[in-house]
Copies of this chain bind each other. A is one copy, B any other.
Amino acid sequence: MLSKNIHTFIGCEAEYNEADIVLFGAPFDGTTSYRPGTRFGPQAIRQESYGLETYSPYQDKDLTDIAVFDSGDLELAFGNVERVLSDIEERTKKIIGDGKIPFMIGGEHLVTLGSVRAVSERYPDLHIIHFDAHTDLRDDYLGERLSHASVIRRCHDILGDGRIFQFGIRSGDRSEFEWAKEGHVFTNKFDFEGLEEILAEIGDKPVYLTLDLDVLDPSAFPGTGTPEAGGVTYRQLLAALLTVCGRTNIVGLDMNELSPTYDSSGISTATACKLVRELILAIKK
């Protein structure tokens, strides 16, 4: 008998019960104010992952040695932001409750809030490592408090001062930078300087890693809604990610802001796929 078409990220074909890491997509871009399209990110990553090898010459590890489950994309209703976040929270809670690490693929950056709600409930002393071009620290955007431009501010509402560490930042309102400097959030401009010290400080406390792919320079990652010149190279980002995963206790993570339609060459999607592979291999100790 023939079997149905099953479609997962390459090498992530474990059964749910045996998996250590669980992927899911959050294809939402409903508060994106400028150029939408990150809703197509998760499906593009899954599709294009078949141009990738399962083996990483960087880490000398192979996806075939690890049990990862890909549970597909959530079905999210555009036009109702709060419900979208609840659906994400619920999925994350399920995965964490089963003792697995959730790895969410966005979508716009706001989806992080749903996941952080669930993870921080389970790990009250959660810390966030945040790689991004943008601060995302506005209290509201055109009056809306649930916005891609406010997501880290909303995470701060939950976690409080001194628990969020941003790197690569090179865009934001003056007031966002000023607010961060008041001690609420550690904002490192332009690159990863100071990362090792921060990681030493965090030690073995639980960490949520949120990666906005626009931290990369637009030359390396043109497929995103709000490209910001002056970003980090792929090699710099990979080194920083391997450092974070190697030294901290990652309990949940996400990657977001791939908007594949803006990059007809496909290099952005290919790069995102490679980072998914490297992150899976790096968080699996």
Query: What is the CA–CA distance of A227 and B228 in the complex, to the nearest angstrom?
Result: 20
Residues 2-40 of A at the B interface (beta carbon under 8 Å): 2-8, 16-17, 22, 29-37, 39
Max chain B Cβ within 10 angstroms of own Cβ: one of A69, A230, A270, A274: A230
Which residues of B are found within 8 Å of A43, using beta-carbon distances? 47
Complex contact A5–B37 (CB within 8 A): no
Interface locus among A139-147, A153-161, A248-256: A139-147
Which residues of B are found within 8 Å of A222, using beta-carbon distances? 265-267
Q: Give this chain's copy count.
A: 6
Residues 39-58 of A at the B interface (beta carbon under 8 Å): 39, 43, 46-47, 50-51, 53, 55, 57-58
Which residues of B are found within 8 Å of A266, using beta-carbon distances? 35, 222, 227, 262
Kindly report which residue of chain B lies nearest to residue A143, judged by CB atoms: B77
Assuming the contacts A4-B8, A53-B171, A70-B5, asked whether A262 and B262 have C-beta atoms less than 8 A apart, the reply is: no
Complex contact B69–A228 (CB within 8 A): no
Instruction: Kindly list 15 other residue pairs between chains A and B, CB separation below 8 angstroms, not including A3-B16, A77-B142.
Output: A2-B16, A5-B6, A34-B50, A35-B266, A36-B37, A43-B47, A57-B172, A77-B144, A78-B144, A78-B147, A79-B81, A217-B234, A218-B265, A227-B271, A261-B261
